Chain A
């Protein structure tokens, strides 16, 4: 779970915070505001959260390599991405946010699996017999709009559409068509300058269709695993498989300013996901082989105290719970069941010199994670709990009005890695970036990240690096 958070931070384009090692709740930044838009993704609050126009062009390249990965994962993944983000306040007509991206990912020597995200928690794995390169590419488009409907009542909505084409470059030459559509509708009400509430409802609809048909027109041999060991063999001149996922999410947020310079945010999210493992029988009819359900609850408390012009304190605490089960639909039997809970707290501060030339920030989080895994069909039952630690450091040096240097460092220690299964896992993340203000309206923020993960108990490792650039225009 912690790894997931780190991974998201690496990928996300919130360039200044990322340059500072991912500092978030103890630093003031446009991307770390404690409000319904940042906390819960409520589109209604966009109009209050993003007050300035900006257009960002964000090209990036990332690579992850090493032998510390799971059975069906590649040990060498490269990703090239370019995205365009535009935010335009329209005065009384609201605020518009547009997003477009194109992504190309190459997963080298991926082992057998034919689905995009094999470790989503579902008990079903669709494989063939070979290890080979798999590439995915495609665009994403998104639009968000926010409007003050009546005094202090805000409405917002967003829609995202993503398509990916996938191709395995060796037998069975499987082709993937992945489509993800999501919608988000929200309202927010500002009771006073000190108190605001928000509610938004999100829906995601994802479909992944895989067709394996050998280009040499010979037979293809695929397997559908129910659990880790038991599989059914499927053979024919072509094989089709489909995964449909549907997510409904309800999110509540509040922003409370009890005293001047203290902001408190609360966020509660409930996600309900269903997933179907399907064999297409015709263009209109799919036969359900398996079904999975995943309910998630996220509760987040965040507070920030601007003590004085030099010192800011931050605090966060929260609870995440994910409950997941999968069944064999034909026999109505539960195959897998697992639950993960994460209780966490963190504190942090940033200090800035009077001349605003140096900013130093630090955050520390403690996560108490427990997991119950009941793999009935494999007769494997595990119960684990562990304390994991994250420390973040950030340093910003404003050398002059045009140029700043930023450094970031994370030390993450996991007693148990609940994603990859390692014990005593240590991760170091180093970030280095600058900002060059070319003019009043144009700036460029390049960033380099290096992340290395090692296990104390053996020689397994994983090294990630990323090169990112943000070209930002404040007028367009």
Chain B
């Protein structure tokens, strides 16, 4: 009898090790979001109207989904997996195609079985000026660790000529052992962690180096035809600008391309960025002392890109609330804004991976 009871207890113990099947099932998520915007030109009193046929971008751990709203600006999408979504809506301004109406909501946790209803209030993003439009860091497809055809592309989305004189480009990847790069280490209104500091010639306020409206500039690490080294890399011999560290005698310097020069004088490296995780900022150049941090009000644009979806971005929220998912290394892919000049300070929504780098065009 004892043996029988013991056997029964053993079976019960083994069965009790089983976890119970959850009653809730995945894939039953429904999101209903309406995109609205206010058009002050039509009414002196602020009233919101639907953002008809808006493009919605939904990003979660499973990747990116693009869907379109109906005429009432309403997007209804069902059978999605449960996750935390970043959602943006955008549409061209009906009166001016150079203006984009953009809005977003972040960290929308949608539980299976629920219908999540929300509203995105979008705002026109007019030509605000200079922004980073593309970053190509990962290198072409190769097995010799070639990644020297890196470039950064800038875009002047305004309708006026901007001037590059004295503007600075920084790579931020340093830590002090406690704080992370791109954050405000001392809570004093600047961000820290400068690794490389390069600048255009001249000083802010001068007008020697114009940046034409609605145009691109390619800043090459080396303005060289890299196809001579690796056939499927990029010809950057016609880049607009080239990073040249004047303290490095062997750094490639194309005489036909003007230079950005190093002003962190203890660094002799070229302006090379990490292939999959890094932070780039451009500043007006008014703050010339990088050692105590870069004053936030002087920063024109900043982007953080990273490979790992689960790690936490480190760039200060005032520069960028999100981060760009980088492509894998040595795959010849690049990172670009979804729409040129559209900068909502949320790179998660603003950027995408493209299969082929597009230096000088979008």
Contacts and interface: CB of A to CB of B under 8 A. Distances in A.
Interface of A: 216, 218-219, 221, 226-227, 230-233, 235-236, 248, 250, 272, 274, 291, 293, 325, 327-328, 331-335, 337, 374, 376-379
Instruction: Say whether chain A's binding surface is mostly helix, strand, loop, or mixed.
Output: strand
Contacts of B24: 332-334
Contacts of B309: 232-233
A335 B26 contact: yes
Given A272-B15, A333-B112, A377-B81, A235 B307 contact: yes
Nearest to B111: A331
B213 interface: no
Contacts of B25: 333-335, 337, 374, 376-377
Contacts of A328: 26, 82
B14 A226 contact: no
B176 interface: no
Which among B15, B17, B23, B81 has the highest number of chain A CB atoms within 10 Å? B81
Interface of B: 11, 14-15, 17-19, 21-28, 61-63, 79, 81-82, 111-112, 143, 145, 275-276, 307-309, 328-330
30 contacts: A219-B307, A219-B329, A230-B81, A232-B309, A233-B63, A233-B309, A235-B276, A236-B307, A248-B14, A250-B11, A274-B18, A274-B19, A293-B19, A328-B82, A331-B26, A331-B82, A331-B112, A332-B22, A333-B22, A333-B24, A333-B82, A334-B21, A334-B22, A334-B23, A335-B26, A337-B25, A376-B27, A376-B28, A377-B81, A379-B79
B21 A293 contact: yes
A233 B276 CA distance: 14
Nearest 5 interchain pairs by C-beta: A376-B25, A377-B27, A333-B26, A219-B329, A379-B79
A327 B22 contact: yes
A328 B62 CA distance: 13
A250 B7 CA distance: 11
Among A219, A250, A379, find the residue whose CB has the most chain B CB atoms closer than 10 A: A219
A440 B264 CA distance: 91
A327 B81 CA distance: 12
A387 B351 CA distance: 54
A218 B27 contact: no
Given A219-B276, A221-B328, A233-B63, A377 B26 contact: yes
B78 to A, nearest CB: 9
Given A235-B276, A235-B307, A218 B21 contact: no
B18 A235 contact: no
A235 B112 contact: no
B107 to A, nearest CB: 15
Contacts of B11: 250
Given A272-B18, A374-B25, 4 more contacts: A219-B307, A235-B276, A334-B22, A377-B26
Contacts of B79: 379
A235 B328 contact: yes
Contact of A379 (B22, B23, B27): B27
Which residue, of B18, B26, B145, has the highest number of chain A Cβ atoms within 10 A?
Answer: B26
A327 B145 CA distance: 40
A339 to B, nearest CB: 12
A231 B309 CA distance: 12
Given A232-B62, A233-B63, A376-B27, A325 B308 contact: no
Nearest to B330: A218
B112 A230 contact: no
